[in-house]
Amino acid sequence: MLGRDNPSKLIIATFLETGSIEQTATSLNYSFSWTYRVLDKFGVINRKPRTIKKICKTLTSKESSNLVSDYLSGQPTKLILSKYNISSTTLYLILNRNKIIGRKRKTGFSWNKLSIQDKAYLSANVICLAQENKSLQQIAKELELPLSRVRLILNNFTNRGASR
């Protein structure tokens, strides 16, 4: 009778009797996840949040510094993870704590921060290298520009030439 009008009350009452989420779910024929969500919603169970300190406590300070030096020396991430027996989340939390920028992240190129002369000079170089039949990737690598910027410069140049 208790559960027909409100299954949440039945779940809570059964959990308080059994003390186990699994036993509660199986005895009431509910899924574990739904039972857990109901108990969590009403604050019956206490979830302990994982903090950065708890995740990173697996390594000593010496191991952390060795890990950072391995990462900066260019060792593959998979090798570092297996060497220190940590998860990728722990690795990146340690790197963030040490203010290390990820290897794949670039510092960011901003065309708008360049002066007009620098923009003109880079555009001229892109056009000249394109005339030498270099690929977009080769031009971007040589001038240290994003590929999208090289493509944009060449598109703007070819569109102007076609409209004249």
For position 1, what pLDDT does the model report? 43
Please report which confidence band the pLDDT of residue 47 belongs to, taking 50, 70 and 90 as the band edges: low
Residue among 86, 77, 16 at smallest CA distance from 57: 86
Flag whether pLDDT at 49 surpasses 60.
no
111-163: what CATH class? mainly alpha
For position 104, what pLDDT does the model report? 65
- Ranges of each domain in the chain: 2-41, 52-97, 111-163
Flag whether pLDDT at 41 surpasses 70.
yes
Please report which confidence band the pLDDT of residue 90 belongs to, taking 50, 70 and 90 as the band edges: confident
For tokens 């992240």, what's the residue? 105
Residue among 114, 126, 129 at smallest CA distance from 150: 126
pTM of the complete model? 0.36
Question: Which DSSP letter does residue 103 get?
Answer: S
